[in-house]
Amino acid sequence: KQEVTQIPAALSVPEGENLVLNCSFTDSAIYNLQWFRQDPGKGLTSLLLIQSSQREQTSGRLNASLDKSSGRSTLYIAASQPGDSATYLCALNYGGSQGNLIFGKGTKLSVKP
């Protein structure tokens, strides 16, 4: 069974700190992986998409890495800001169809001013 785990479920850090969010998966035969951000009462916003052939993707202060051999992806947030407070979810695509996305339950991040 394909499972996606995000630990911890919640994380609180002071503003300015660099942090890493973790996503682990049991089946490494992925097609691609996406990291999403969800604000309270809102939908999900795609942050980064990593193809299975890639090791990492960067967007501004965000860097996502993928290590299929260890079944792990990380989302690195540099110089965190209160505006980064949200729930971050990873989603794995198994196969060539978008319908096979498996979502983790997310890590709720709180950045304190």
Judged by CB under 8 A, the residue of 14, 40, 83, 99 near another protein is: 99
* Burial category of 98 from C-beta neighbours within 10 Å (exposed 0-12, middle 13-18, buried 19 and up): exposed
* Cβ closest to another protein, residue 4 vs residue 77: 4
By CB under 8 A, residue 101 contacts another protein: yes
By CB under 8 A, residue 98 contacts another protein: yes
Terminal CA-to-CA distance of the chain, rounded, Å?
41
Interaction mask 32-61, another protein, x per CB under 8 A: x-x-x----xxxxxx--x-x----------
* Number of helices followed by number of strands (H, E) in the chain: 0, 11
